[in-house]
Amino acid sequence: MKLLEEKIKADGKIYEGDILKVDSFVNHRIDVGLMNELGKEFYRRFASDGVNKILTIEASGIGIACLAAQYFGAPVVFAKKSRTSNLAPDVYTAKVVSYTHGNTNNILVSKDYLTASDRVLIIDDFLATGEALFGLADLVAQAGATLVGAGILIEKAYQAGGKRAREQGIRVESLARIASMNPTDGITFIEE
């Protein structure tokens, strides 16, 4: 999607170590107008799939998930990263390694909020190794719900996650697919 690709080119920052920072519009400051347009695009792609629940993971997925969810008329459920004293004991859990943060989280969703009748669209900001996506898909499977697909803002297409997910039959729609990037040569996208 050109709108997002142009924004990444203009405001994304590339660092050594395969780091793309989009803090200025995605995951620290949120460009709500832009996210709304991206939300509409997810709706355009999944409008006929009977989505009745948007699933994401805290924290940076929540904003885009809520803005997109408006168009689906669906609620958002966000997986939590650690058990809190406020949460019911009856949960689905999966393990997710974060390469960005260098740790492993237990993600969890209350069994009350993900059920066998759900048709779930996963929405998240990044897809690289796919750890978060596979963790969320695991929660959907545990609930016996139907995974309609995954709407991703930015896919590092040169990493294994997207390919692996598609091979497993997960429909992945990424609004910007990065073919390559580095601080010297900048960033190139896979043409849609």
Chain residues binding its own copies by CB under 8 A are 19, 21, 23-25, 27-33, 35-36, 58-59, 62-63, 65-67, 69-70, 73-78, 80, 84-88, 100-102, 109-110, 112-113
Query: DSSP state, 23?
Result: I
Radius of gyration of the chain, Cα coordinates, nearest whole angstrom: 16
Q: Can you say whether residue 50 is alpha, beta or left, with left for phi > 0 and alpha for psi between -120 and 50 degrees?
A: left
| Minimum CB distance to its own copies smaller for 29 or for 166 | 29
Tell me the closest approach of the beta carbon of residue 27 to its own copies, in angstroms.
Answer: 8
Q: Which of 103/188 has CB closer to its own copies? A: 103
Closest distance of CB 188 from its own copies, Å = 22
**Least distance (Å) between residue 73 CB and its own copies:** 7
Residues 6 or more apart from 47 whose CB is under 8 A from it? none
- The phi and psi torsions of 116 (rounded to 5 degrees) equal -65, -20
Is 69 or 127 the residue whose CB approaches its own copies more closely?
Answer: 69
- Return the structure tokens found at 133: 């996506």
Which C-beta is closer to its own copies: that of 49 or that of 190?
A: 49
Look up tokens 């409008």; give the residue.
47
